[in-house]
Amino acid sequence: MDNFIVSARKYRPATFDTVVGQKALIVTLKNAILTGKLAHAYLFCGPRGVGKTTCARIFAKSINCEHLTPEGEACNECESCRAFNEQRSYNIHELDAASNNSVDDIRELIDQVRIPPQIGRYKVFIIDEVHMLSTAAFNAFLKTLEEPPRHAIFILATTERHKVLPTILSRCQIYDFTRIELNDIVEHLAKVASKEGVTTEEAALHIIAQKADGGMRDALSLFDQMVSYTAGNVTYQGVIGSLNILDYDYYFRFTDLFVEHKISETMLLFDEVLRRGFDGGNFITNLTAHLRDLLVSREPATLPLLEVSTDVRERYREQAQKCSERFLIHAIKLCNDCDLNYRASKNKRLLVELTLIQLSQLTGEGDEIGSGRGPKRLKPLFQKAVAAASTSQPNNSKPAQTAPTAAATPASQPQGTAQQTTPTSTSGTGSPMDRLNLSGTSHKVTTRPIGISLRTGMLRGVQEEKPKSQAASVNVSTSQPVITEDLPVAEDGLRICWKQFATELPKEESAMSGRMMNLRPYLASDTEFTITIDNKLVAQELHTIKPRIENYLRQQMQNSRITMRIILDETQTSHRIYSRVEQYQMLEKRNPSLKKLKELLDLDLE
């Protein structure tokens, strides 16, 4: 059986010229060697597998070479070079700080530093993953780094520069290694493949390079893996099958469906993706990348940003012609929103599906979905409720006794709570139509919170800037929000909106704003929250702006039934909570599950 040497080792570059990527940095290093201006310590930073250690070794060899070429490369023939190449040189010492990070390890190294080289001029000490050294080891090393003997050169390498002590950083010349470009990796893999007699498809190498994310070592070990997996015939299908990557063909198909507004086909195709075991989150990330690639394929100027194999490039160009720039930008925005919300979502599949539906409804013409032969529109789910709301309130001068929200809320709402809300909603005089004009859209259905507003949902993404002005109109707007279904009220959200209201109060009410910031609303029921105040005057003052607060919160939290109860508790002044135990007891009173947690974890109060 042959001795198998992994490609990353077998094809480790032996000269600066064969190092892939890092061109600028290598020029600087070579110049330093040629001019003999060597520093005592270098710090090589950068991601893993991009050639830090390799460059350090080549550098060590070159500065010891007896017959340096005019380009600053080692000759590979002199005694020193041969010793280096055969890994028997005494002029190079490597310490992996990840596993040898104690003071003793460093002392051993320092002992070596004292001894001058027998052959050659310099001894090079490479400390890999230098940020892993213990603090004691760092300190032991610092002295030597400050005043090293003439023959000693240190090359420190790290993937995490921010973890290296500033005292070390300031003593080193710093070189930043960058990720290797995808095309460079592909080219290198192709060379290795031809030397190894392996047949490859360009698209397959692209996938490997993508997966390696700029690291040559990772790319080569993946390549080795693929060679053995595909028995020396590295095909695109073989690679994606083995790496469990979704065929890019799917993204092309999805985009075609979006452009043709085929909603049901999109859903079916997504189902297929899930059934093949792919994760929805990855899918949406890659779909975003695909749309971005389409966008850059539209213009010759941005075409170089497209990192795909030549045969796929043509496909991108073709599909990009079918999509308008507007469509692509909106689509990327939608996907990106989905991506951002994905982790927090409780129903991830639905989130992706909604995004896909919205994508299928984008036309690219702009704000309005094309009429006539445009896409099939899904009927808004809450049309009825809104229609009822607008007919029940034809005249907006009518007093708010029967608030439009009461009509708009589902019939299941208990009568009692509806009555509770009405006396407080003194300011709700605007009709739903007013509110709609305020929001600047001509759409009747604003089921914004649910996100199932299949028509407006898309527009929401596009017109995100507009609702801001609405939110800012706390003190001006008296219109009642069109709330088609009340959303549950969460205490966290309530507090955020509470503070938001306080910050948005005008200057002349800054005293109130300050007081409100110090108060904390607590939910007493599903929709009622309490504010406890220890000062009668403040309580009265708060009472006067109560309708405004309620109105604001109802709008912001999309719940028409929110009410505020002010509790005056003057005893609070005499008993403030100081100690941690008291704090805990109070918290426990509010949340009994804390007690359970305390017992479960067997915690003691101190």
Please tell me whether residue 169 binds Zn ion under the rule CB under 5 A: no
Instruction: Report the nearest approach of Zn ion to the CB of residue 282 (Å).
Output: 49
Q: How far is the CB of 123 from Zn ion (least distance, A)?
A: 16
Does 85 sit near Zn ion (CB under 5 A)? no
Please, which residue, 17 or 314, has the CB nearer to Zn ion?
17
Between residues 63 and 259, which has the closer beta carbon with respect to Zn ion? 63
Is the CB of 19 or the CB of 65 nearer to Zn ion?
65
N-to-C CA span, the chain: 68
Which of 65, 220 has the CB closer to Zn ion?
Answer: 65
Residue among 33 and 168 whose Cβ is closer to Zn ion? 33
Both tokens of 141, joined, read 């090393």
Q: What are the C-alpha distances in Å from 41 to residues 23, 28, 141, 349?
A: 21, 15, 12, 53
Map 468-510 to HEC letters. Answer: HHHHCCCCCCCECCCCCCCCCCCHHHHHHHHHHHHHHCCHHHH
| Nearest residue to 425 via CA among 550, 536, 325 | 550
> Measured from the CB of residue 32, what is the shortest distance to Zn ion in angstroms?
17
CA 581 to chain centre: 39
Q: How far is the CB of 30 from Zn ion (least distance, A)?
A: 15
Among 80-88, 153-161, 453-461, 563-571, which window interacts with Zn ion (CB under 5 A)? Answer: 80-88
Q: Which is nearer to Zn ion, 61 or 93 (CB)?
A: 61
- Binding segment for Zn ion among 7-15, 79-87, 440-448, 465-473 (CB under 5 A)? 79-87
- For Zn ion, the closer of residues 32 and 294 by Cβ is 32
- Cβ of residue 14: shortest distance to Zn ion, in angstroms? 11
Stretch that binds Zn ion, among 46-54, 68-76, 324-332, 563-571 (CB under 5 A): 68-76
User: Is residue 69 at the binding interface for Zn ion, with CB under 5 A as the rule?
Assistant: no
Q: How far is the CB of 160 from Zn ion (least distance, A)?
A: 34
Other CB atoms within 10 Å distance of the CB of residue 463: 14
**Assigned token pair, 224:** 């080795």
Please state the closest distance from residue 60 (CB atom) to Zn ion, in A.
12
What are all long-range contacts of 450-455, with beta carbons under 8 Å and residues at least 24 apart? 450/381, 450/382, 450/485, 450/487, 451/354, 452/354, 452/381, 453/380, 454/354, 454/357, 454/358, 454/361, 454/377, 454/378, 454/380, 455/361, 455/369, 455/377, 455/378, 455/380
- Candidates 32, 56, 65, 562; binder of Zn ion (CB under 5 A) is 65
Our CA angle for 421, 423, 427, nearest 5°, is 95
What's the min distance (Å) between Cβ of 55 and Zn ion? 17
Closest among 432, 556, 396 to 486, alpha carbons compared: 556
Q: Work out how close the CB of 115 gets to Zn ion at its nearest, in angstroms, rounded to a whole number.
A: 22
* Measured distance CA(496)–CA(209) in Å, rounded: 45
Binding span for Zn ion by CB under 5 A among 27-35, 72-80, 457-465, 480-488? 72-80
Binders of Zn ion among residues 464 to 493 (CB under 5 A) are: none
String marking each residue 20-59 x if it binds Zn ion according to CB under 5 A:
----------------------------------------
Q: Which stretch binds Zn ion (CB under 5 A): 61-69, 159-167, 202-210, 431-439?
A: 61-69
Q: What is the 3-state secondary structure (H, E, C) of 510-541?
A: HHHHHHHHHCCCEECCCCEEEEEECCHHHHHH
- Three-state secondary-structure class, residue 327: helix
Task: Tell me the residue length of the chain.
Answer: 606
**Closest C-alpha among 280, 279, 311, 307 to residue 292:** 307
- The Cα–Cα gap between 426 and 57 comes to 79
In the complex, what is the shortest distance from the CB of residue 74 to Zn ion, in angstroms, rounded to a whole number? 5
Burial per residue of 154-174, b for 16 or more beta-carbon CB atoms within 10 angstroms, e otherwise? bbbbbbeeeebbeebeebbee
Among 187, 155, 186, residue whose Cα is nearest residue 171 = 155
Measured CA to CA in angstroms, residue 223 lies from 111, 188, 555 at distances of 41, 11, 57
Q: Tell me how far apart the alpha carbons of residues 480 and 434 are, in angstroms, rounded to a whole number.
A: 9
Min. distance of Cβ 63 from Zn ion in angstroms?
10
Region of 49-57, 74-82, 128-136, 269-277 interacting with Zn ion (CB under 5 A): 74-82
Q: Does 81 bind Zn ion (CB under 5 A)?
A: yes
Residue closer to Zn ion by CB (options 19, 41) is 19
Q: Is 78 in the site for Zn ion (CB under 5 A)?
A: yes
Residue in 111, 66, 108, 61 with CA at minimum distance from that of residue 86 = 61
Q: Least distance to Zn ion from the beta carbon of 75, Å? A: 4
Which region, judged by CB under 5 A, interacts with Zn ion, from 73-81, 193-201, 331-339, 372-380?
73-81
Minimum Å gap between C-beta 56 and Zn ion is 17
Which of 218, 207, 224 shows the shortest CA–CA distance to 180? 218
Span interacting with Zn ion, options 78-86, 214-222, 476-484, 507-515, rule CB under 5 A = 78-86
Q: Pick between residue 14 and residue 362 the one whose CB is nearest to Zn ion.
A: 14
Of 75, 306, 329, 407, the one binding Zn ion (CB under 5 A) is: 75
Interface with Zn ion by CB under 5 A: which range of 47-55, 60-68, 408-416, 468-476? 60-68
Three-state SS for 174? Answer: strand
Q: How far is the CB of 217 from Zn ion (least distance, A)?
A: 26
In angstroms, the CA 446 to CA 588 distance is 41
Which residue number, 92 or 542, has a Cβ lying nearer to Zn ion?
92
Residue (74 or 113) nearer to Zn ion, CB: 74
CB 296 within 8 A of CB 302: yes
Binding mask 387-426 for Zn ion (x = CB under 5 A): ----------------------------------------
Stretch that binds Zn ion, among 21-29, 66-74, 127-135, 230-238 (CB under 5 A): 66-74
Interface contacts to Zn ion, rule CB under 5 A:
65, 74-75, 78, 81
